[in-house]
Chains A and B, each alone.
Chain A
Amino acid sequence: MSLPRLVFVTYFRLVPTTQIGVFKRCMRLIQHLVDDFEIHLVNFGPLPERDAMFSALRSRMKIWEFSEDLGNDIARMLDEVQPEAVIFGETPLRGSMRLAHRVAGMRGAWQICIDNYYGDYAGSFFPTEWPRIDRWMLLGLMADGRAGMSNGNVEIVPPLVRFPPGGAEGPRDRVAILGYDKQTLLMGALLLRRLPPGQLADIIVSPEWESLIGKQRGSLGRPGHRVMVLPKDEDLSRALSSARVVMGKAGYQQVVESVALGAPIVCQICGGGIDMGLIAPQMKPYVRFVADEKDLERVMFDVAGWLLDPPRLPWAGLGAQVPDPAAHAAGRLRELIAQRPAPSSTRRAAG
Chain B
Amino acid sequence: MTSQADAGDGPELLRLTALGPLKALFQAKRWSELEAAVGDVPVWAFDRPLPPRECRRFLAELFDPAVDLHVLVTAHRARGNQGGEVRSSFRCCVVWGEAGSWEEHEMELDLHLGSKPDGAGMFRVCYLGVSGR
Contacts and interface: CB of A to CB of B under 8 A. Distances in A.
User: Do A and B form a real pair?
Assistant: yes
Interface of A: 70-72, 75, 93-95, 98-99, 102-103, 118-119, 121-122, 125, 129, 275-278
B22 interface: no
A72 B95 CA distance: 19
B26 to A, nearest CB: 13
A71 B97 CA distance: 11
Interface of B: 7-15, 68, 70, 72, 76, 93, 95, 97, 101-102, 104, 106
Contacts of A103: 102
Nearest to A119: B12
16 contacts: A70-B102, A72-B102, A94-B95, A98-B68, A98-B95, A99-B97, A121-B12, A125-B12, A125-B14, A129-B11, A129-B70, A275-B8, A275-B9, A276-B8, A278-B8, A278-B10
Contact of B7 (A71, A98, A277): A277
A75 to B, nearest CB: 8
Interface of A is mostly: helix
Interface centre among B10, B70, B76, B106 (most CB of A within 10 A): B10
Contacts of B12: 118-119, 121, 125, 277
Given A93-B72, A94-B72, A94-B95, A102 B11 contact: no
Contacts of B104: 95, 98-99, 102
A122 B12 CA distance: 8
A121 B15 contact: yes
A200 to B, nearest CB: 34
A88 to B, nearest CB: 15
Contacts of A71: 101-102
A125 B14 CA distance: 9
Q: Please name the 9 residue pairs, one residue from A and one from B, whose CB atoms are nearest each other, closest first.
A: A71-B102, A277-B8, A277-B10, A277-B9, A278-B10, A121-B12, A125-B11, A102-B68, A276-B8
